[in-house]
Structure 1
Amino acid sequence: MELTVDEKLAILRAADEIIGQGGRTLLAKILKGSRDKKVLALELDKCPVYGYYKSEKIADIVEKVDWMIDYDFLAIEYFGKLPLIIFTERGWKIESDQRSGEFLAQWDAWIEENRPLPDMEYLKDRNRNMILLFIEKVKETKDRKYIPYLKAWEKIDYKKVRAAIRSSIEVIESNQEIDHIAMQKRETEIQEALLGSAPQDVLLKCWECGNRFTFTVGEQQFYKQEGFDFPKRCEDCRGRWKFGEFY
């Protein structure tokens, strides 16, 4: 199986709604467009990619989610006995870029509709890196139409965010040159991240005997889904520990 870029983005966007709160099945239900009580109670039907895979079976969607886990876009973290979906570093790099673009598109829509300025509190206390990326994207447009939004936002946020907003306003108002090399680098990093990291067998060193042993892709998948740490001992030494041969 190989997912398209659009599929990867859709799964990451749906995952963003339940990070650290739900597992693989709940994520699959969002993508299916399920009318499950929990989905509706959490208002997950408002997710922009709700129903993205509406014609597919839940089991098939879960398989796609597992592919995203295998290719290092998502991971499983256990809270007690509950397996919860979280972003990997790769997954969050992509999703923060996607969400910051979503915020910018929302501003464009509001400006087009000539809406009054929103309460900018909705942007406060979100992930700091994502917010700074959003501000950077606004600056890179060099479009003066965003200045009222930036000025309203500057009044209510924290010091570091206010400084970034002020810098963006100054660049737009003075029509300063922007860093095109940095923009290109960021775009290249996103494209590279979207390729994922194909799972492969890895060699681990046994803590007991010091020998190297192969930890297969299948074993890695099982350990991830069960929330286990990777083994520290080879199979032989694990067997000896099991039967009490180490004192």
Structure 2
Amino acid sequence: MALETKRLPEADIRAILRAADELIAVGGRTLLAKILKGSREKKVLQLELDDCPVYGYFKGVKLDDVVEKIDWMLDYGFLDIEYSGKLPMIIFTERGWEIERDQMADELLQEWDDWLEAEKRSPDMHYLKDRNRGMILLLLDKVKETDNEKYIPYLKEWKKMDYKKVRAVIRETVQALKSDEPVDLNAARGRNASVQKALRGFEPQDL
């Protein structure tokens, strides 16, 4: 493992977690490293892992050094290993998922911003169905916290095709965006503080 590896910067931690999100419980350290390295290996391309936003993030780094960074993530409690038979698969720890869930919600919201800027109307929202429920509810919280009615058309499209519980939260989000009530950002501040704490990884005394 890589306990002696220099502490990774926040951007690297986030990039590794984002790449890991593409293969949780279906791939191991080496495949994760190949995404981050930008490998053109057949398996990477077959699984369309080259579509990952952080594909090639460590393009100029040796593969063994990328694996060492992943080992650091394992050592400091961002990722873990779960065996499928004899095959070791990468999974998130609670700490790692807290960070990734937050940045994935941000990524989805940014995608909406890009679509709105491109005047994309009535997008197919089926891609949000059956996603992790906690992440979806967080996305809706973030939409609500923007206090911006520009998202309402997308929310209405989404509401047409999702499950009853999600539809109810979408309806509440639309109502909040239409309301003149000031936005309470205390939850957002608490959430951001928690994510920043998670980004520190294990404290030395925990190791």
Smaller-chain TM-score bracket: over 0.9
Distance 1:198 1:48 in 2: 30
Aligned to 1:35: 40
Deviation of residue 180 (structure 1)?
1.5
Q: Secondary structure at the match of 1:102?
A: helix
Once the two structures are superposed, residues 160-210 of structure 1 have per-residue CA deviations (whole angstroms, 9 ceiling, x without a partner) of 211111111001111322222111100100100000004657xxxxxxxxx
Aligned to 1:58: 63
Aligned to 2:100: 95
Q: Secondary structure at the match of 1:77?
A: strand
- Is the contact made by 1:71 and 1:199 (CA closer than 8 Å) also made in structure 2? no
**From 173, 177, 197, the counterpart of 1:172:** 177
**Matched AA of 1:46:** D
Higher mean alpha-carbon deviation, 168-177 vs 118-127, is at: 168-177
Distance 1:200 1:138 in 2: 38
**Matched AA of 2:112:** W
Aligned to 2:194: 189
Seq. identity, %? 61
Question: Which structure is richer in relative contact order (CA contacts within 8 A, separation 6 or more)?
Answer: 2
Is the counterpart of residue 76 in structure 1 residue 81 in structure 2?
A: yes
Is the counterpart of residue 5 in structure 1 residue 10 in structure 2?
A: yes
Aligned to 1:133: 138
Aligned to 1:67: 72
Unaligned runs of 5+ in 2: 1-5
Deviation of residue 69 (structure 1)?
0.4
RMSD of aligned C-alpha atoms?
1.1
TM-score of the superposed pair, with normalisation by structure 1:
0.80
- Is the contact made by 1:142 and 1:175 (CA closer than 8 Å) also made in structure 2? no
- 1:90-169 superposed matches below 5 A: 90-169=95-174
Distance 1:178 1:161 in 2: 21
- Is the contact made by 1:100 and 1:133 (CA closer than 8 Å) also made in structure 2? yes
